[in-house]
Structure 1
Amino acid sequence: MIRIGICDDEAYMLERISEKVKSHMAASHMEASLRRYGSGEELLGSGEKFDVIFLDIGMKGLDGIETAKRLRAGGYRGYVVFVTVSEEDVYRSFKVGAFDYLLKPLDEKEFERTLRRILASFRSKHEGRMLIRHDGEWSVILFHDIVYAEVVNRKIHLRLTDGRDIEYYDQMKRMLDRVDERFCRCHRSYIVNVEHIRAFIPGNELMMDNRDLIPVSRTYRESFNEGYFDYVGGAYD
Structure 2
Amino acid sequence: MFSIGVCDDRPLCRQLLEEFILLYEKEKGILFDIHQFGSGEELLEELHKLDMILDLLFLDNSMKKLTGLETAKLIQQSDSMSACSIVFVTADDDHDQFMQIQPLQVVGKPVTRECIDAILDKVLAEKA
Provide TM-score, normalisation by structure 1: 0.50
- How far apart are residue 23 of structure 1 and its match? 1.1
Structure 2 partner of 1:91:
96
Q: Matched residues, percent identical?
A: 29
Higher helix share: 2
Structure 2 counterpart SS, 1:102 = strand
Q: Show structure 2 runs of 5+ residues with no match.
A: none
- Asked which structure has the greater RCO (Cα within 8 Å, sep 6+), the reply is 2
Q: Which moved more, 1:92-101 or 1:49-58?
A: 92-101
Structure 2 partner of 1:42:
42
Q: CA-atom RMSD, angstroms?
A: 1.2
- How far apart are residue 86 of structure 1 and its match? 2.0
Q: Which moved more, 1:75-84 or 1:65-74?
A: 75-84
Aligned partners of 2:126, 2:13: CA distance in 1, in Å?
A: 25
Task: Pick from 68, 71, 76 the counterpart of residue 75 of structure 2.
Answer: 71
Structure 2 counterpart SS, 1:46 = helix
Q: What letter is aligned with 1:79?
A: S
Task: Pick from 58, 61, 64 the counterpart of residue 60 of structure 1.
Answer: 64
Q: Show structure 1 runs of 5+ residues with no match.
A: 124-237
The structure with the largest alpha-carbon Rg is: 1
Q: What letter is aligned with 2:31?
A: E
- How far apart are residue 109 of structure 1 and its match? 2.1
Contact 2:91 2:108 survives alignment (8 Å): yes
Count of aligned pairs: 122
Aligned partners of 1:34, 1:111: CA distance in 2, in Å?
A: 14
Structure 2 partner of 1:21:
21
Higher strand share: 1
- How far apart are residue 100 of structure 1 and its match? 0.7
**Runs of 4+ residues deviating >4 angstroms:** none
Provide TM-score, normalisation by structure 2: 0.89
